């Protein structure tokens, strides 16, 4: 059996294993293959995944093994037709809900695939519909075990698995879409959306071979606009862009379906016209194209322009054979023909010129040679430096206009425009300046490649943090080159340097973005690891926010929730920026965040608490809801935040907020996906912990309590005596931790313990041991030999260091181990049973007394009483704290639990004794020891000897002096039989009860000692019961009298308080 397979009942283990599978999966097939280990929980033998096409066909994407592949191959899958439509796959896809078959032996015999299922021996199945937005998947699981998927918990977990897979498929679909967009950007001109030079090279590599196979002509045409520069000069670059966009649109409309048009840059375009049978076809096409292009273009309501153009044309294979280096030779030939067309512009008969194969390829060929030479020129180093230095003045002059063009292009895009639009005017100006500085450094003649990569990597990381997608910047590179070179003399060397430096820039920025995404993924895995190891919510919160604080761009992380007054309390904080804010709130210098929907409740944290959704504060400088904190946020370096509600059972339990040093933090697609994953991972971890209202504690206070623990006089112990209830003798004290605040005040554990994690609790226990042992020595010097009790934290049972601390402290302080009592309040959470048993055995071997704390707080505590080596027990004070509300119930608990524990050989302590009546009652009910305010309040160590000396001698009471004590005696002797025993037991005890009622018992003695005018009804009930006892205890009137006396004692006990 695979020991790594979590139990169906181990829900946390199931979700953590699922999260780990998803985190490490590099691809969907790899994830589906890895699922086999998880699906073994339900004894799944085979499974497959399919999806529904737009036409209704169901296609198989994955099969887990050869058996499943063979099963599907033998079937036809018209899943939505005829009887097939009644199968589990069709039902799940149609309804969007899982379809379960508990046992195929009981399935509808008309199902067409039933015989095949039975041949494979499958008995049960589950089909899970999975939607990723545009596509519907179905995951079908088959098991040879009947009822494998029948349990409600199984189905809940399977549906959660489907949700996880849906998220993964959606992520993969988005990544494919982004990849498609990047590919398009790589092969398309961002301004005109025509293919670019890279796409031309690919197309031109194959076109000559196609022409030869089809025995058709191929025309390669290069054309540009005549007098395009005046349009830019007169009307601006925006008008020039509009002209190019309109001409590109006309070009696409005028060409045939198989023709190809691309923009090289500036106003230069290339056409590939294939499948030409003769020149007549070409002339007709070019005339139609020319008429479309020279039609007037309206730039705005007042401006209309008309431009002509010149074209150079080469025909393959008529002009020459260029089977080697076809791309280069054909373009050079077209370029030379264009050169000739422009030279004859004033007196030519048509707008295009055909390349003359008989004339030498000179003139413009030298330019092409320059281009070839430029390709071998390094983008960095001395040669590149010379080229850039010659153009530096012109490049610097062109840079501001380039930045404006790029900025305008980005602002006009929907997503990029949203990011830019969230900036204030000052921030937009700064953003432009940053872009300009980056381009200036990119053009620096002295720049080396390593420095350039570092710069671009850092910029890519910054873009990742602020939600700038890589394809947005990639789409601007063509524009940057075009604008930079627009006013410069043609230079193939400069163009080559710019293109290659921009390519390095692009690659490094993509690497920077990828680094950030890896950090996000590593953080999620770290959170999973923390959740699996910690033992408390505090430790979970601390470990997670510290990990998130290390993410790029994050300056603070908080986790908080509202207090009962509706004020947001930040219990955990990482980062000094937010600590600065909290200190100002404490000093009254900054507004508190509230959860109500008023002015102070419009921030993301409050909105996330109310809505249960992730909420963004895109920019403190511009977001209206952040106005109350705007100036302070800018002062402490916070520009944006995002608030993630952490839910359990669909309701928010806390809000996790990440504060960023840049606007638009965590607003991009990858960041939002990360936030949803973070929310889900945190929600899984939250299932293990209960958050209580009383533990809402602000981070500055938490930090103060931790610091006080380490201060030399920050921790003090108060001691509460424990007495023997039979003899009244003092037998020991319980050490109770307190903190001394900086102002000298005493801080109770209810205030500081919620801020302590494992490390602080371990330190508290260790320091407490030594302080308690030092007190034992001081008391012994004064003739007072006592034992001391300390609380052992629940996590101490799993941590061997606690045993080592006890052993070391006993040895160093020379304390008899029998004088140390450790009170253990065990928790079932994260319990390592072997480690617990080793710890308890080790403590017993030392000779330490072990006491089970809070007996009766749950059924598990009763089971542990019998199984674990406790010497004594403490009855949970919650059972007796409100004894006056139901005295009979409180005393019945003490009686039952005392008998149970003493039958097992354990000593019983009743804590929480707050009245003399409860002390008496506990003693008469058989408890061994008592502790509570009615005996003594906790006190400093130096006051214990004085309390002992001032305490009057105590002897065991022979008769009750309080109504509660009398009621305890009455119950002990059977007076409350219907409450504390069944009728059979009552019959067995009738002699004892009758003898008690007839005799001169202590209850009667207590009642007769009362003033007759003070308790007439009680005295009357006592006398009536005594007179009826002679007739027998099974008489109905006796039973009524017994009940009446009990009620009168209860009333008297409440009067006495």
Query: Is the pLDDT at 806 greater than 90, yes or no?
Result: yes
pLDDT in tens, 363-374: 444 444 444 455
Query: In 3D, which of 185, 302, 300 has the Cα closest to residue 243?
Result: 300
Q: What pLDDT does 620 receive?
A: 93
Claim to verify: residue 908 and residue 982 sit in the same structural domain? no
How would you write 808-863 as a 3-class SS string? HHHHHHCCCHHHEEEEECCCCCCCCHHHHHHHHHHHHHHCCEEEEEEECCCHHHHH
Q: What pLDDT does 717 receive?
A: 94
Main-chain phi, psi angles of 563, to 5 degrees? -90, 175
pLDDT-based confidence at residue 858 (cuts at 50, 70, 90):
very low
Q: What pLDDT does 2 receive?
A: 42
Claim to verify: residue 565 and residue 592 sit in the same structural domain? yes
Query: Is the pLDDT at 360 greater than 70, yes or no?
Result: no
pLDDT in tens, 21-32: 665 666 677 788
Query: Is the pLDDT at 978 greater than 80, yes or no?
Result: no
153 in any annotated domain = yes
704 in any annotated domain = no
Buried b (16+ CB within 10 A) or exposed e, 586-624: eeeebeebbbeeeebbbbbbbbbbeeeebbbbbbbbbbe
Lookup result for tokens 């100036």: 631
Higher pLDDT: 321 or 257? It is 257
Beta-strand (E) ranges in 661-773? 715-724, 730-740, 746-747
125 in any annotated domain = yes
- The last residue of one of the domains, among 157, 183, 209, is 183
Higher pLDDT: 1043 or 985? It is 1043
Percentage above 90 pLDDT, the chain = 27
Claim to verify: residue 993 and residue 1032 sit in the same structural domain? yes
CATH code for position 72: 3.30.450.80
Q: What pLDDT does 487 receive?
A: 63
Query: In 3D, which of 308, 353, 320 has the Cα closest to residue 334?
Result: 353
Least confident segment among 392-406, 468-482, 713-727, 871-885: 468-482
The dihedral formed by the CA atoms of 654, 658, 659 and 664, expressed in degrees to the nearest 10: -120
- The last residue of one of the domains, among 925, 950, 975, is 950
Per the CB < 8 A criterion, the answer to whether 725 and 931 are in contact is no
Higher pLDDT: 537 or 388? It is 388
Neighbours of 652 (CB within 10 A): 18
* CA distance linking residue 557 with residue 549, whole number of Å: 6
Query: In 3D, which of 1035, 1034, 973 has the Cα closest to residue 1004?
Result: 973
Claim to verify: residue 506 and residue 552 sit in the same structural domain? no
Query: Is the pLDDT at 944 greater than 90, yes or no?
Result: yes
Q: What pLDDT does 983 receive?
A: 40
Query: In 3D, which of 524, 509, 504 has the Cα closest to residue 459?
Result: 509
Q: What pLDDT does 278 receive?
A: 80
pLDDT in tens, 756-801: 877 888 899 999 999 999 999 999 999 999 999 999 988 888 888 9
HSE-up (13 A, CA, CB side) for residue 300: 7
Least confident segment among 108-117, 713-722, 1013-1022: 1013-1022
Q: What pLDDT does 730 receive?
A: 92
The model's pTM is 0.55
pLDDT-based confidence at residue 649 (cuts at 50, 70, 90):
low
Query: In 3D, which of 688, 612, 682 has the Cα closest to residue 643?
Result: 612
pLDDT-based confidence at residue 985 (cuts at 50, 70, 90):
very low
Query: Is the pLDDT at 570 greater than 60, yes or no?
Result: yes
Q: Are strands 99-101 and 268-276 parallel, antiparallel or unpaired?
A: unpaired
Between the alpha carbon of residue 47 and those of residues 17, 127, 773, 801, 1022, the distances in Å are: 19, 10, 64, 47, 77
Main-chain phi, psi angles of 281, to 5 degrees? -60, -40
Per the CB < 8 A criterion, the answer to whether 458 and 437 are in contact is no
1043 upstream amide cis, omega within 30 of 0: no
Q: What pLDDT does 3 receive?
A: 41
Q: What pLDDT does 313 receive?
A: 92
Per the CB < 8 A criterion, the answer to whether 112 and 144 are in contact is no
pLDDT in tens, 913-933: 888 888 988 998 899 999 998
Q: What pLDDT does 330 receive?
A: 85
Q: What pLDDT does 289 receive?
A: 94
Mean pLDDT score, 187-215: 86
Q: What pLDDT does 862 receive?
A: 59
Claim to verify: residue 178 and residue 211 sit in the same structural domain? no
Buried b (16+ CB within 10 A) or exposed e, 394-415: ebeebbeebbbbbbebbeebeb
Q: What pLDDT does 775 receive?
A: 95
Claim to verify: residue 905 and residue 1008 sit in the same structural domain? no
* CA distance linking residue 337 with residue 370, whole number of Å: 18
Query: Is residue 69 packed enough to be buried (19+ CB in 10 Å), middle (13-18) or exposed (0-12)?
Result: middle
Total domain count, the chain = 6
936 in any annotated domain = yes
CATH code for position 601: 3.30.450.40
Mean pLDDT score, 825-839: 72
Domain containing residue 1028: 963-1056
529 in any annotated domain = no
Neighbours of 353 (CB within 10 A): 21
Per the CB < 8 A criterion, the answer to whether 675 and 641 are in contact is no
CATH code for position 294: 3.30.70.270
Claim to verify: residue 162 and residue 27 sit in the same structural domain? yes
Claim to verify: residue 800 and residue 773 sit in the same structural domain? yes
Claim to verify: residue 790 and residue 680 sit in the same structural domain? no
Q: Which residues contact 1024 (CB under 8 A, 6 or more apart)?
A: 1041, 1044, 1045
Claim to verify: residue 938 and residue 979 sit in the same structural domain? no
pLDDT in tens, 229-280: 888 878 887 888 889 999 999 999 999 988 999 998 788 899 999 988 888 8
Query: Is the pLDDT at 960 greater than 80, yes or no?
Result: yes
Mean pLDDT score, 130-144: 83
* CA distance linking residue 1041 with residue 1027, whole number of Å: 10
Q: Are strands 640-648 and 136-143 parallel, antiparallel or unpaired?
A: unpaired
Structure tokens at 802: 């606690």
Lookup result for tokens 């007996």: 855
173 in any annotated domain = yes
Please provide the average confidence, as pLDDT, over all residues in the chain.
Answer: 82
Query: Is the pLDDT at 640 greater than 70, yes or no?
Result: yes
Query: Is the pLDDT at 979 greater than 50, yes or no?
Result: no
Between the alpha carbon of residue 374 and those of residues 186, 332, 488, the distances in Å are: 21, 15, 17
Q: What pLDDT does 776 receive?
A: 95
Query: Is the pLDDT at 705 greater than 90, yes or no?
Result: no
Mean pLDDT score, 997-1003: 70
Least confident segment among 132-146, 963-977, 992-1006: 992-1006
Query: In 3D, which of 404, 383, 513 has the Cα closest to residue 459?
Result: 513
Q: What pLDDT does 226 receive?
A: 87
pLDDT-based confidence at residue 77 (cuts at 50, 70, 90):
low
pLDDT in tens, 483-534: 777 666 667 688 788 888 888 888 888 889 889 988 988 888 888 778 777 7
- The last residue of one of the domains, among 123, 155, 183, is 183
Query: Is the pLDDT at 93 greater than 80, yes or no?
Result: yes
Claim to verify: residue 135 and residue 247 sit in the same structural domain? no
Q: What pLDDT does 670 receive?
A: 82
pLDDT-based confidence at residue 811 (cuts at 50, 70, 90):
very high
Mean pLDDT score, 119-147: 87
Between the alpha carbon of residue 309 and those of residues 247, 264, 291, the distances in Å are: 11, 15, 11
Per the CB < 8 A criterion, the answer to whether 771 and 779 are in contact is no
pLDDT in tens, 457-496: 999 999 888 888 777 776 677 778 777 776 666 676 887 8
What does DSSP assign to residue 956? -
Between the alpha carbon of residue 175 and those of residues 27, 168, 268, 275, the distances in Å are: 11, 10, 34, 37
Mean pLDDT score, 77-89: 64
CATH code for position 755: 3.20.20.450
Mean pLDDT score, 446-466: 92
Query: Is the pLDDT at 1031 greater than 70, yes or no?
Result: no
803 in any annotated domain = yes
Query: Is the pLDDT at 1040 greater than 70, yes or no?
Result: yes
pLDDT in tens, 334-352: 888 888 888 787 777 889 9
884 in any annotated domain = yes
Claim to verify: residue 151 and residue 242 sit in the same structural domain? no
Q: What pLDDT does 366 receive?
A: 41
């Amino acid at each position: 059996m695979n020991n790594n397979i979590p139990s169906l009942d181990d829900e946390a283990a199931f979700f953590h294993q699922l999260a780990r599978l998803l985190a490490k999966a590099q691809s969907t097939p790899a994830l589906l293959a890895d699922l086999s280990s998880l699906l073994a929980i339900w004894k799944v033998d085979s499974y497959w995944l399919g999806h529904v096409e737009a036409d209704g066909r169901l296609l198989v994407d994955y099969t887990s093994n050869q058996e499943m592949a063979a099963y599907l191959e033998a079937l036809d899958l018209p899943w939505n037709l005829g009887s097939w439509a009644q199968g589990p796959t069709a039902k799940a896809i149609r309804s969007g809900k899982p379809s379960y078959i508990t046992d195929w032996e009981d399935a509808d015999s008309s199902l067409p695939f039933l015989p095949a299922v039975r041949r494979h021996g499958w008995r049960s199945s589950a089909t899970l519909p999975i939607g990723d937005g545009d596509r519907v998947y179905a995951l079908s699981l088959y098991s040879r075990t009947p009822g494998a998927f029948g349990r409600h918990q199984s189905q809940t977990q399977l549906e959660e698995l489907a949700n996880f897979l849906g998220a993964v498929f959606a992520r993969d679909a988005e990544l494919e879409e982004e990849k498609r967009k990047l590919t398009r950007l790589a092969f398309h001109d961002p301004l005109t959306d025509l293919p670019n030079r890279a796409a031309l090279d690919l197309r031109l590599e194959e076109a000559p071979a196609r022409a030869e196979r089809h025995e058709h002509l191929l025309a390669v045409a290069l054309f540009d606009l005549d007098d395009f520069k005046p349009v830019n000069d007169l009307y601006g670059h925006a008008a020039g862009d509009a002209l190019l966009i309109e001409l590109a649109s006309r070009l696409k409309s005028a060409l045939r379906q198989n023709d190809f048009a691309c923009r090289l840059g500036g106003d230069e375009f290339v056409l590939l016209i294939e499948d030409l049978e003769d020149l007549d076809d070409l002339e007709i096409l070019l005339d139609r194209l020319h008429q479309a292009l020279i039609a007037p273009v309206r730039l705005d309501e007042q401006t209309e322009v008309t431009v002509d153009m010149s074209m150079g044309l080469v025909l393959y294979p008529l002009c020459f054979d260029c089977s080697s280096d076809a791309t280069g030779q054909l373009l050079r030939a077209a370029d030379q023909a264009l050169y000739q067309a422009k030279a004859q512009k004033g007196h030519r008969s048509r707008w295009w010129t055909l390349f003359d194969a008989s004339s030498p390829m000179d003139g413009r060929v030298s330019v092409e040679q320059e281009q070839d030479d430029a390709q071998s020129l390094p983008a960095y180093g001395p040669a590149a430096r010379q080229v850039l230095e010659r153009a530096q003045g012109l490049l610097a002059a062109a840079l501001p206009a380039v930045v404006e063009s790029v900025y305008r292009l980005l602002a006009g895009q929907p997503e990029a425009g949203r990011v830019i639009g969230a900036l204030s005017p000052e921030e937009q100006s700064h953003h432009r300046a940053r872009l300009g500085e980056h381009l200036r450094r990119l053009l620096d003649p002295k720049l080396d490649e390593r420095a350039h990569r570092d710069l671009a990597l850092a910029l890519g990381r910054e873009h990742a943090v602020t939600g700038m997608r890589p394809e947005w910047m990639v789409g601007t590179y063509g524009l940057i080159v075009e604008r930079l070179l627009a006013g410069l003399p043609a230079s193939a060397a400069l163009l080559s340097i710019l293109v290659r430096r921009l390519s390095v820039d692009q690659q490094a920025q993509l690497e920077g973005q990828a680094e950030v995404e890896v950090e996000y993924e590593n953080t999620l895995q770290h959170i999973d690891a923390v959740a699996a190891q910690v033992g408390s919510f505090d430790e979970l919160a601390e470990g997670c926010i510290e990990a998130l604080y290390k993410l790029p761009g994050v300056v603070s992380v908080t986790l908080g929730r509202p207090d009962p007054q509706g004020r947001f309390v930040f219990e955990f904080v990482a980062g000094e920026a937010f600590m600065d804010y909290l200190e100002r709130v404490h000093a009254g210098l900054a507004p508190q965040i509230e959860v109500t929907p008023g002015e102070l409740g419009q921030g993301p944290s409050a909105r996330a608490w109310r809505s249960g959704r992730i909420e963004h504060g895109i920019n403190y400088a511009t977001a209206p809801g952040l106005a109350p904190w705007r100036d302070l946020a800018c002062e402490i370096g916070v520009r944006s935040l995002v608030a993630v509600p952490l839910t359990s059972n669909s309701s928010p339990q806390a809000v996790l907020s990440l504060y960023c040093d840049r606007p638009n933090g965590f607003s991009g697609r990858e960041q939002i996906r990360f936030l949803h994953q973070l929310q889900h991972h945190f929600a899984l971890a939250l299932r293990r912990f209960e958050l209580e209202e009383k533990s809402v504690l602000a981070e500055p206070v938490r930090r103060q309590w931790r610091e006080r623990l380490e201060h030399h006089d920050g921790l003090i112990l108060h001691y509460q005596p424990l007495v023997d209830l039979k003899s009244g003798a003092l037998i020991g004290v319980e050490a109770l931790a307190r903190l001394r605040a900086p102002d000298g005040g005493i801080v109770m554990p209810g205030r500081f313990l919620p801020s302590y994690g494992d490390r602080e609790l371990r330190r508290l226990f260790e320091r407490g041991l030594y302080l308690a042992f030092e007190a034992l020595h001081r008391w012994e010097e004064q003739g007072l030999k006592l034992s001391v009790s300390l609380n052992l934290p629940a996590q101490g049972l799993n941590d061997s260091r606690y045993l080592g601390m006890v052993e070391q402290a006993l040895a160093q302080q020379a304390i008899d181990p029998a004088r140390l009592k450790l009170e253990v309040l065990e928790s079932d959470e994260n319990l390592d049973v072997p480690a617990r048993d080793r710890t308890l055995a080790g403590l017993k071997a030392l000779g330490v007394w072990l006491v089970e704390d809070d007996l009766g707080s749950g059924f598990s505590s009763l089971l542990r009483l019998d199984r674990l080596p406790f010497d004594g027990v403490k009855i949970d004070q919650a059972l007796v704290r409100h004894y006056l509300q139901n005295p009979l119930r409180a005393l019945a608990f003490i009686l039952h639990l005392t008998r149970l524990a003493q039958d097992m050989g354990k000593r019983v302590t009743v804590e929480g004794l707050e009245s003399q009546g409860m002390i008496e009652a506990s003693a008469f009910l058989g408890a061994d020891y008592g502790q509570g305010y009615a005996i003594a309040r906790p006190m400093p160590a130096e006051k214990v000897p004085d309390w002992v000396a001032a305490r009057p001698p105590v002897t065991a009471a022979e008769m009750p002096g309080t109504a509660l004590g009398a009621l305890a005696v009455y119950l002990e002797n059977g007076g409350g039989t219907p409450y504390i025993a069944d009728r059979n037991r009552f019959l067995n005890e009738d002699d004892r009860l009758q003898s008690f009622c007839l005799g001169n018992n202590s209850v009667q003695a207590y009642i007769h000692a009362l003033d007759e005018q003070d308790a007439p009804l009680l005295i009357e009930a006592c006398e009536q019961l005594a007179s009826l006892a002679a007739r027998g205890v099974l008489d109905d009137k006796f039973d009524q009298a017994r009940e009446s006396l009990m009620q009168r004692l209860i009333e008297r006990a409440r009067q006495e308080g």
